[in-house]
């Protein structure tokens, strides 16, 4: 009995010590000067637990030196005047704040913002604003090479939560990993430049007429020019958008498909002048096949729209209810 009590007392003592240490650090954090508090908040994706503890316990007079050493330890080129990791880190925070809005918190503090900052922009991003089941609707899938990272918004309220918890395959892209920024310089990853936002488009659908012999509908896509990546052929800024459409019945069976390409070629000056303008694609649908119309049947029907920007190989998928 005494031995058992001793174990319980020891466990209680350990818990008390742990809680005491946590409370101490919490109180120290509350007492930080605004500039020190801002530093600690901003480096949350970089700082280790030991570094955080050391920083909080330092006298205020020594904190500036800690901050200086903190960034120098992470400088890819020790002693260099410009710390490219520090620059890239804060650039990602700034971009995340612009990209991921509407969740009631700054973009860099959202799940998508956190992944964007730690691992950089994905090679591909596909968005599905509505699907056939509650689990997959309103989700996003980011691809880093062949590895998918899934964000889920089952309530379709614009609050995306990370649904992929094994991020070990991305360790080489982690900004905390030595050499990670060099890895980011290759392939399609360069498509996400300083001023370029994630590839995206808006879509709307309207059924013009429908009967047992024919379905007439119209889909309109608009793609902000600022989200399209172009390449120069020496005379023009060019790219190609590949469009894929899939019409699905209530059983999630694809009953109709269509593919098309849209070539864009603009003078560099004309492209710069377009600024916030959008490239509009009008897609008329005319289905007269009795078999296809019968396969569509009753119940909810959907159309999947897949748009790929060949330059950079960026893709975006959206699913609309066909009604």
**Of 86, 90, 45, 87, residue with least CA distance to 69:** 86
Q: Which helix (H) or strand (E) holds 268?
A: helix 268-274
Band (pLDDT 50/70/90 cuts) for residue 2 is very low
- Neighbouring CB atoms inside 10 A of 235's CB total 9
Alpha-carbon distance of 100 to 282, in angstroms, equals 28
Q: Is the pLDDT reported for residue 183 higher than 80?
A: no
What does the alpha-carbon distance between residue 99 and residue 268 come to, in Å, rounded to a whole number? 25
CATH superfamily of domain region 202-321 = Immunoglobulins (2.60.40.10)
- The kind and range of the H/E element at 99 are helix 84-99
Average pLDDT over residues 142-156: 86
Grouping H, G, I as helix, E, B as strand and the rest as coil, residue 320 is strand
Residue 11: the pLDDT is 59
When mean pLDDT is compared across 22-36, 176-190, 298-312, the lowest value belongs to 176-190
Domains of the chain: which residue ranges?
A: 104-191, 202-321
Average pLDDT on 204-230 reads 85
pLDDT band at 196 (very low <50, low <70, confident <90, very high): very low
Highest mean pLDDT among 137-141, 167-171, 236-240: 167-171
Whole-number pLDDT of residue 294: 80
pLDDT at 190: 37
Tokens for 46, please give them.
């970089």
For 9-45, what is each residue's pLDDT tens digit?
A: 555 555 554 445 568 777 877 888 999 999 999 999 9
pLDDT confidence of residue 92: 93
pLDDT digits (tens, 9 = 90+) for 235-266: 788 889 999 999 888 888 888 888 999 998 88
Task: Supply the mean pLDDT for the chain.
Answer: 81
pLDDT of residue 22: 67
Helix (H) or strand (E) holding 57: helix 49-57
Has residue 213 got a pLDDT over 50?
Answer: yes
Which range has highest mean pLDDT (110-124, 130-144, 210-224, 247-261)? 110-124
| Burial readout 39-77 (b: 16 or more C-beta within 10 A, e: otherwise) | bbeebebbbeeebeeebbeeeeeebeeebeebeeebeee
């Amino acid at each position: 009995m005494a031995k058992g009590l001793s174990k319980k007392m020891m466990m209680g003592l350990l818990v008390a010590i742990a809680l005491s240490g946590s409370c101490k650090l919490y109180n120290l954090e509350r007492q930080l000067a605004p500039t020190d508090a801002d530093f600690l908040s901003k480096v949350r994706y970089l700082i280790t637990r030991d570094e955080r503890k050391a920083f909080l316990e330092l006298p205020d007079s020594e904190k500036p030196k800690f901050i200086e050493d903190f960034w120098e330890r992470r400088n890819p080129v020790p002693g260099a005047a410009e710390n490219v990791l520090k620059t890239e880190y804060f650039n990602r925070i700034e971009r995340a704040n612009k990209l991921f809005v509407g969740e009631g918190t700054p973009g860099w503090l959202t799940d998508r913002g956190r992944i964007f900052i730690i691992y950089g922009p994905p090679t591909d991003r596909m968005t599905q604003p509505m699907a056939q089941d509650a689990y997959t609707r309103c989700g996003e899938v980011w691809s880093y090479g062949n590895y998918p990272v899934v964000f889920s918004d089952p309530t379709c309220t614009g609050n995306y939560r990370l649904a992929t918890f094994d991020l070990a395959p991305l360790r080489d892209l982690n900004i905390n990993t030595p050499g990670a920024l060099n890895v980011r310089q290759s392939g399609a990853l360069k498509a996400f430049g300083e001023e370029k936002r994630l590839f995206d488009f808006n879509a709307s659908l309207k059924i013009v007429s429908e009967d047992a012999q024919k379905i007439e509908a119209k889909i309109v896509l608009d793609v902000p020019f600022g989200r399209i990546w172009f390449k120069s052929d020496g005379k023009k800024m060019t790219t190609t958008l590949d469009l894929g459409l899939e019409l699905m019945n209530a059983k999630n069976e694809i009953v109709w498909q269509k593919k098309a390409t849209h070539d864009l070629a603009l003078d560099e000056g004309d492209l710069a002048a377009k600024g916030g303008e959008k490239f509009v694609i009008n897609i008329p649908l005319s289905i007269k096949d009795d078999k296809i119309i019968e396969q569509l049947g009753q119940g909810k029907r959907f159309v999947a729209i897949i748009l790929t920007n060949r330059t950079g190989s960026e893709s975006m998928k959206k699913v609309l209810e066909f009604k």
